[in-house]
Structure formats: C-alpha cells, structure tokens
Homo-oligomer: A and B are copies of this chain.
Amino acid sequence: MSAPAVRRTRAKRGSGDLLREEIVAAAKRLLAEADRADDVSMRAVADAVGVTTPSIYLHFADKQELLGAVVADVFRELDVAMLAAAADESTPMARLRSYGLAYIRFALDHREHYRLAMLDPCPKPNVEVDEVLHSAAFSHMQATVEECVAAGIFQGDPLAITFEMWAAAHGVAGLVIAKPYLPFGDVEEFADRCLCVAALGHVVRPLLGADPAPEAIVGWLARQRA
C-alpha cells in the first residue's frame, strides 16, 4: 500500500494543471472512502496519484486549499441535483420543498464533504466552496423564495427568509449527520416535516403581524378554532 501505486509520467511543459486535476480527483476519491477528513493525508493523496508529496504544494498552498477544491468540485453537482429534483414542480412552494429535500439528501449522501463545507472551523472562509454553495443551493432557494414573495405567499425580505429556510435545511442535515443514531425515524420524512413546518411558519407569520409574541400565537390559534 505504501509503494507508489503507479509512477505517473511527467507532464508536458505547458501543462502542469494536468496534475492538479489528478490530485483533486484522487483526494475526492480518498475522501469519499474515508469517513474522517484527517484520515486523508497529503502523503496518501500523493501516493494515489503516483507522485511525491511536495509536488502537491506546487498546485495547492496547503491542505485546506486542496480540500477546498475537492469540496467545491463535489458541490458543483449539487446544482444539478437540485434542479433535477425540482424540474417537474410547477409551483414555487413545491419547488421550494423539492430544493430543500434535495439539499438535505445531497448533504447526507456526501457527509464528509458537507462537513468540510458547512461544519468545519473557518480560519479563513473557504472562498471557492462558498462561491459554489452560493451559486448553486443558495441562488435557487433565493429565486424561489422571491417567487413566493411575489405570489403573496410569503411576506418580508426575501434574503432574510432564504437564510431562515437555509437554517432549517442545514439544521436537519447537520443534526442527522452529527447524531445519526438518534431515533428520527425515516430521515426523508423527518426532513420533509421540518421543511414543511418552516414553510408553513413563513406563510402564517404575516397573518399575525410582524413579530408575534408567544401569547399572540396562542391567541390566534384560539380564534382560528372558533
């Protein structure tokens, strides 16, 4: 296992970026196999590519940057997954639900990548990952929230509402990833309930005034029942 699996042939003069892609690919594979990020060492990645460790540093400043590139690469698929999930939905609310479910499913299908992207210490914010997340998950969510606002289903600042929906989805993903042994029951249903509750909350809140106190909620409920 420690012997260099296969010695690559040196890259042609012009293109050292070739190696860069090979490194990312190898790291991506190793990260998917391992279940902890620090089990993937620079030495292991180099070995998988068939190159010595310091060569990696010709293409990435440090390990964080390499992992950032890997995670960004994985999360580019999220865009596709979310669009595909919502392709058949015709109403904004249905799309919002599909987006949320797809987001959570993606997170659970790529736990280590999600952890690196969304659950890790952030000495310096990982620009590449954040860009991908923004352009994929976030922008779809935001656009759909804006549709909901335009349709009068939601009221308020779309950006704030998007963050709130994101927090709801992230909460489900994070909780299930961190504590998978808790009795959530079927995870997909759990996720659906959480998202549904969040969406419902946003729908109802305007009916109660801007910032409803707990008592106001109970009072409203009583009037509803009457």
Q: Is the CB of A119 within 8 A of B178?
A: yes
Q: Is the CB of B184 within 8 A of A207?
A: no
Q: A174 at interface (Cβ–Cβ under 8 A)? A: yes
Q: Is the CB of A200 within 8 A of B179?
A: no
Q: Which residues of B contact A174 (CB under 8 A)?
A: 118-119, 170-171, 174
Question: Considering only CB atoms, which chain B residue lies closest to A168 in the complex?
Answer: B171
Question: Considering only CB atoms, which chain B residue lies closest to A154 in the complex?
Answer: B221
Question: Considering only CB atoms, which chain B residue lies closest to A134 in the complex?
Answer: B182
Stretch at the interface among A5-13, A51-59, A158-166: A158-166
Q: A84 at interface (Cβ–Cβ under 8 A)? A: no
Q: A113 at interface (Cβ–Cβ under 8 A)? A: no
Partner of A123, one of B36, B122, B198: B36
Stretch at the interface among A19-27, A40-48, A88-96: A88-96
Q: Is the interface of A mostly helix, strand, loop or mixed?
A: helix
Q: Which residues of B contact A96 (CB under 8 A)?
A: 214
Q: A175 at interface (Cβ–Cβ under 8 A)? A: yes
Q: A74 at interface (Cβ–Cβ under 8 A)? A: no
Enumerate 16 A-B pairs (CB-CB under 8 Å) in ascending A order.
Answer: A35-B121, A115-B119, A119-B119, A122-B178, A122-B180, A160-B190, A164-B193, A166-B175, A167-B171, A167-B190, A168-B197, A169-B171, A192-B211, A196-B211, A197-B205, A200-B208
Q: Is the CB of B93 within 8 A of A218?
A: yes
Q: Contact residues of A with B, CB < 8 Å?
A: 35-37, 91, 93-94, 96-97, 115, 118-123, 125, 130, 153, 159-160, 163-164, 166-172, 174-175, 178-185, 190, 192-194, 196-205, 207-208, 211-215, 217-218, 221, 224
Q: Is the CB of B184 within 8 A of A163?
A: yes
Q: Which residues of B contact A201 (CB under 8 A)?
A: 196-201, 204
Q: How far is the CA of A189 from the CA of B17 in the complex (A)?
A: 46
Q: How far is the CA of A90 from the CA of B83 in the complex (A)?
A: 46
Partner of A178, one of B120, B211, B215: B120
- Greatest chain B CB density within 10 A among A37, A96, A160 is at A160
Q: Which residues of B contact A179 (CB under 8 A)?
A: 118, 122, 125, 130
